Each structure stands twice: as structure tokens, then as C-alpha cells.
Structure 1
């Protein structure tokens, strides 16, 4: 569904991604994990058209989308839920969700999509007339994900989906992610909660120094000694001896 080859990207003269290669198959949940500053958000922003590639290819369903305008990429079914939620705080929850349907692709299906996200996140229907900025952090994340779903994505990209959330809110968000996956939407997730991401993911990539240093199934990477030591906080030598 998504194929990235030899991708370089960054900000101005500062290069962040160096020869990034990855693939996402239709129906998968794919996680991108790694330390701060290794290029996870840069990768999603480049796929979404918010950054122009310096070099390389981004193909979605066989068509090149690298360098296209974000509006065009959304129309083709690639939607980004950005880090920090980015709701309009002085607009109601309902209005924030409606803005997800600004594209020609989604506009005719607004009511159908609202019904879908209200089933997924009932609290958003209850709080429809509440201002977005007055929601709790978990509710704001639900609203941001719901707004992305209103845009009718085939590939939904979630950036730091659990950042700053209480554990119970993280559980609710990940339950929703499973339901989204079951609905047929393909998911690409950037996440600092590595253990949670790997438990959910069919496959994952570990970014280091702007490229994919490791890849494999979520289970394989969660059992990899290097990943356990660096990202999961486990002392592999000690546990092996034990």
C-alpha cells in the first residue's frame, strides 16, 4: 500500500532522514519507534506532504505522492493525526469533527462518518457542543483521531498517540485503534510507548540516525535484546542469567 525508497528529508539545510526505506501492507498496523530526534515525526510529515522530500520515492497504491500538496494526498486517502492533537480549542467538538470532511472525498459522507466515530468514541457525541479546548487530554486525543477518521482515510497515520495521556486514557485509545484496524483502515503509528506499540503492531521499524536500523514483527522486536535494552528498559544479560 505504501512504499518508501531511499528517502531523504528534513528542514531547510538540516537533513533528518537518510535513505529511509519501509513498506506498509494494506490492513496492517505498522509502528515506527525510536528515541527523540531520530526522524519519526519528520517521516510522517513528509508522507503527508507537509515537508518536501529532498530525494527518494513515496508511493501510495502504486502512485508517486512524494512532493504532492497535502490536499491532494488527503484526497487519495492518506491522513495524518498530528502530534499534540491540534484541535481548534474555541470550536465545538462537533465543528472540529466536521472539519475533517473538508475534502471532496469525505464531504458527501459526513453524517455517515460522524455516526461511525460516535460509535467508536461515544463521549464525543455526549460532548458535541462543548468547546474542544475544554476536553481532557484523552478526550482531545479521541477527537483528533475521530477528525482524522471523518476524512475517510485508507491509511491513517497517528503521531505520538499516547503522549501525555493517563494510563486509562491510553487503554481507551488503543482499544479504539484495534477497532479502527478491524474496520479495514491501515494504520501507521509513531509512538514513544514502545512496549504498547510493539504489542499492537503487525510489523515495526526502529529508527536510528534517520533511517530504519531494525525491522520485524512487533513480537520479534519486543524480544530483540537491543530493543529490550535501549527502548524497553530491560537488562537482557541480567534476565538471561536469571
Structure 2
């Protein structure tokens, strides 16, 4: 459904992605994991049209979308929930959600999409008149995901989905992600909680130095000795001290 082929991208003179390639099949959950600063967020932003690739191609159902404006990519059904939530702090929850239906694709379906996200996250219906900036971190993440869902995505990309959240909020968010997957939405998740991401993912990519260094099913990567040692902290103390 979604293909990234040999993509280079970055910011000004700073290149971040180097020949990045990945593929996402329809209905999958694909996790993107790796250390800080290796290009995970840049990859998501490039797919979403916020960063223009300098080389390579990005295809959605065989149609090239790399370099298109971000609003055009949203109209095609690719929606990014950015790192840090990025809510409108001085707008209430209801208005933040309504802005998810800005596109022509979603506008006619606003009422039904609001009903859907309120069932997925009941707290958002209870807090409809509360300002976005006064929500807890977990509630803000729920609101950000819900806003993305109001946009009627076929591919929903979640960047740093559990960053800074309390454990109980992480549980709620991951339960919601499973429910979203069950509706047939394709999910691409960037996550620093590697164990949690691999347990959920159908397939995953480990990003190092701006390209996919490892790929496989979530189970395969969770059992990979290198992934266990570097990302899951399961190597021997001696190995970990040597690496450090």
C-alpha cells in the first residue's frame, strides 16, 4: 500500500535519511524503532509531505506522492499524528477534533467521526469544552490521535506514541490502537518503547543512521540478539558495559 524507495531527505544542508526504503501492506501495523536522532521522525514527516525528499520515491497504492504538499497527501488518506501532540492549546477539545475534518475528504463525515472517536476515547466527550492545553499528557495524546482519526485516514502515522505518558495512559492508547487496527486502518508507529511496539506490530524496521538496518516481523525482531541487547536491555551486563 505504501512504499518508500531509496529516499534521501533532510533539512537544508543536513541530510538525515540515506537511501531509506520500507513497505507497508494494507491493514498492517508497522513499527519504526531506533535510537534518538536516527531519522524516525524525519521519515514520518517526509511521507506526510512536511519534508521534501531529495532523492527516491514514495508511493501510495502505486501512485507517487513524494514531494506533494501535505494537504494533498491528507486528501489521499495519509494522516500524521505528530510527536508532541501539537494540539491548539487555547482551543477546546471539541474544536481541536473538528479541525481534523478540515479536508474535503473528511468534512462531510464530521458528525459520524466525532461519534466514533468519542466511543474510542469517552474522556474526550466528557472534556469537550476543556481547553486542549489543560488536559493531562495522556488526554492530549488521545485528543491528537482522535483528531487524526476524524480526518478519515487510510494510513495513520503515529510519531512517538507513548513519549512522556504515564503507564496507565500508555495502556489506554495501545488498547485504542488495537481497536483502530481492527477497523482496517493501516498504522505506522514510531515508538521508543521498543518492546511494546514489537509486541503489537505485524512487521517492524530498525532505523540506524537514516536507513533501515533491520526488518522483520515484530516477533522476529524481538528475538533478534542485537535488538534485545541494544533496545530491550536483555544483553549480559558485560556486553552492555562493553557497548557503553
TM-score class, shorter: over 0.9
- Is 1:132 the counterpart of 2:136? The answer is no
Tell me the equivalent position of 2:58.
58
Deviation at 1:235, TM superposition (A): 1.3
Matches within 5 A, 1:158-169: 158-169=158-169
Unpaired runs of 5+ residues, structure 2, are 239-244
Tell me the equivalent position of 1:38.
38
- Is 1:197 the counterpart of 2:197? The answer is yes
Deviation at 1:206, TM superposition (A): 0.1
The alignment yields a C-alpha RMSD, in angstroms, of 1.1
Contact map agreement 1:33 1:191 (CA 8 A) in 2: yes
CA-to-partner distance for each residue in 1:171-198, whole Å, 9 max, x for gaps? Answer: 0000000000001100000000000000
Deviation >2 Å, runs of 4+? none
TM-score, L = length of structure 1 = 0.97
Tell me the equivalent position of 2:221.
221
Question: How many residue pairs end up in the alignment?
Answer: 239
Tell me the equivalent position of 2:242.
none
Contact map agreement 1:48 1:73 (CA 8 A) in 2: yes
Tell me the equivalent position of 1:104.
104
**Structure 2 SS opposite 1:37:** coil
Matches within 5 A, 1:170-209: 170-209=170-209
Contact map agreement 1:228 1:236 (CA 8 A) in 2: no
Tell me the equivalent position of 1:145.
145
TM-score, L = length of structure 2 = 0.97
**Structure 1 SS opposite 2:41:** helix
Aligned mates of 2:186, 2:126 — CA distance in 1: 28
**Structure 2 SS opposite 1:212:** strand
Unpaired runs of 5+ residues, structure 1, are none
